[in-house]
Structure 1
């Protein structure tokens, strides 16, 4: 029987040739938000390697939405050309091009991980004033954010709308809204980071309001035959935080709003959560959301082998497999996985003489 991992999957009008997705992974290698040769080679090699969908790293919708001064951006029309160069290459090599739209909120204005990852205050070179639902810092070494007022919230919505228009011009056909890992939209979801008492805080309905508004904004712009994903952290792994039950309830609302797939990750709201790490440790979140809402889901987290990915799909736990670190280790994971599973898939003609039989 054909493998599940290499069966096509269609959402709206877009078909993915297989169920393997390159997960968004920050490279911290931009200058002023521009995509460059590193981004072309990094993402392009994964398309050559056979992935069905290649998602860009988080693209900041505004300069103040960057995690570091070196993040990829989509806040300027000038960013479009560099991104279009990448989507053209991905498409030409058989991968669907996708983009993750993001705002880091209180986790913005930090150094790169290999530079220590500490926060940069607004008075330091390279730093800026961060914003968040509430004036609560992420960690002791993080800058204290300014609580967003109504004008600031409306600017966030406008920035997402403008970024969506640019994503279309750049040739992306899948958009993912980043509402996970303790970044801005997740900060609104979690009671740990959201201590507001207005219409955006307190109750579940209030905490999900901004995300639902942004989804509606993006879906109104994004073509009807193009898929829209949302990445969530299904749990904060912290007492008093966002819960799996809330993730199920949110996913049902997002389904009604025209979202096509929930990308199920976890964590990011608190600096040092206790997480039961192990192979596929986040897969149960994808399985539960899929089972209880009927929403297609993507599984992510310590998925490292073809057999493991195949078993997840065969058991109906998820619809897509998102690979992050394993894709960094092996850009050609899909080609190798096909051989492992006994699938004869096309290789790039330039590489055919190296194909295993």
Structure 2
């Protein structure tokens, strides 16, 4: 196993926790989870990840003296539903999970959000551990305590803030990740440079291939992203201000996911984010906020990494401008019916832009749909 990197999230009191990053962490998870003083640690995962890592993790937990078990759901965004949430809660209760026990979320962002929300509400709150196995989850969704499920009207509209007690980011798990999922996760990596760290975006342009290959660049990128997110979470845990910056690209991206029916065969979350990042920068350039060359540089880099950057690249289409606007109206950042976007004055210079004119957005989307 390579050196383990540690990122501390210094929330107040007992809610502070560590993010551990390195290869081989799942096989030694038992001793680290046992240090949290629980009698049981039940794993929530999806059927694909269960076949790859479920028994490794369960055996490690039981070797450390923890009673364990596995609750598995179908893979994919469709599992972030009312029905699957109920099934997970029932499964955890069947495993006799008590208030002092732990739920362990083993998987990508879908599993982390779903298991975290189940933990937040089961017996009015059970502690949980994140063991993310996708790049997207390791750099973003496993950190910060945002949990939830989707509603028919939009993504992540039902949820709770519930911080994990520990995050174990085993970067060796990414060796088995499908290339498409690796690319999708990379969109969230690049996002951190685009929000507020132009130097990191420069680094990504030079080192992204090493992240994909699994070299030391992978662990370094995960650690950099986790440090950035941890800092934002500590300053704005409940997304009352600065934390909204982490949604750069997501207002567009979530709308695309909704309009494709959360069908991962058509569009996965990171692909929606990639299109959203490119759109956010092009819209910023259109408004005169951002240099056009920066918008071009963003799109070019994402495309080089194999990601979509235009509405035309969404398989099966995404409707017209009005359909996209209606989908955006369900975004969590909407206030009093007004659209709020995360826009940019340049690479590494993103900002929150409230009350954007709907007519300007509609005209931009119409032009984007006609482009190419």
- Normalised by the length of structure 1, the TM-score is 0.31
Determine which structure has the larger helix proportion and give its number: 2
**Bigger RCO (CA 8 Å, 6+ sep):** 1
